[in-house]
Amino acid sequence: MNLLFIADPLESFKIYKDSTFAMMREAQARGHLLSVCEPQDVRWRRGEPVTALVRDITLTGDPVHWFSAARHQPDERGQALKDFDAVVMRKDPPFDAEYFYATHLLEQAEREGARVFNKPRALRDHPEKLAILEWPRFIGPTLVTRDANDIKGFHAEHQDIILKPLDGMGGTGIFRVKADGLNLGAIIETLNREGAQTVMVQKFLPAISEGDKRILVIGGQPVPYCLARIPQGGEVRGNLAAGGKGVAQPLSARDREIAEAIGPVLAGRGLLLMGLDVIGDSLTEINVTSPTCFQEIADQTGFDVAAMFVQALEAAVARQR
């Protein structure tokens, strides 16, 4: 297959842990051809299909100069997305206006015959913080609001709470407020901007000390191991980007229950790959833009997550032909 990966700049990749790199490496090993571009390289003009200025690359196996390309910059000739066997959208968050616009361009490409994974409409319809609202039986006490008094009332009820913006990633902008309510007013002002920005508030889950578990679901089926991201030092966040320690472990019965309930439903909507975040027994987020942890799980358990993904991608393309 000819595969196009839409991602962040290749030069920014940390290939020892990057899941998109793991996908590319497995795809090349299976004989597939690789092309790459960034979202700003995708364009549409009346009378033409959606195109992208792409680079054709080959992975070298060198840890420093890890790819080779005929050009340092994208080709001046646009290539239609519909001419690729699959387009893999792997741009990292934030899910901002430009990401939103990119999904519309990709949806137009789909109308022209492109096969895009994850499906652009599904990316728009499942914002990573709010997607959990569809599954209330799996989540802890949660509030989504712009109202400062709502937040204060939630704190009065639950005493120990987590506040976070809806567009954050990697643990950015997350605050914990304990029973003393220290700085609650200032945190609310920072996050909701006098009612202009919606905030998610959740009851603090002490099980975070055992890790914020990332459960990967591919083609509707859970990977048998998750990565528990354990906060370090005095940190409340387990995110690897915030210094958390990743420990791979088998799925618990509850982990599997959550994944097997949600996975097939969201796969049916076009989410080939998702990452469920679970603390203790509670679902906290559903990651759909560019779920990670492939390499950490593979390195610690020997389970080849990238192989499972590329096999699922091959099967999905075959079904759509």
Which positions are annotated as active-site residues? Answer: 129, 164, 214, 229, 237, 277, 285, 287
Phi, psi of 218 (to 5 degrees): -125, 125
Cα–chain center distance at 55: 24
In this structure, are residues 23 and 294 in contact, taking their beta carbons and an 8 Å threshold?
yes
Q: What are phi and psi of 118, to 5 degrees?
A: -65, 155
Residue whose structure tokens are 């901007």: 193
Residues 6+ apart with CB under 8 A from 306: 19, 22, 23, 25, 26, 294, 298
- Secondary element (H or E) of residue 36: strand 33-37
| CA distances, 132 to each of 96, 146, 284 (Å) | 19, 18, 7
- Whether residue 94 is preceded by a cis peptide bond, meaning omega within 30 degrees of 0, is yes
Q: Is the omega angle on the peptide bond into residue 118 within 30 degrees of 0, that is, cis?
A: yes
Contacts of 217 (CB under 8 A, 6+ apart): 223, 259, 262, 263, 266, 267, 273, 274, 275, 276
Asked whether 284 and 302 are in contact (CB, 8 A), the reply is: no
- Cα separation, 247 vs 227, in Å, equals 5
Compute the distance between CA of residue 139 and CA of residue 135 in angstroms, rounded to an integer. Answer: 7
Residue 193 falls in which region: left (phi positive, over 0), alpha (psi -120 to 50) or beta: left
d(CA 14, CA 29): 20
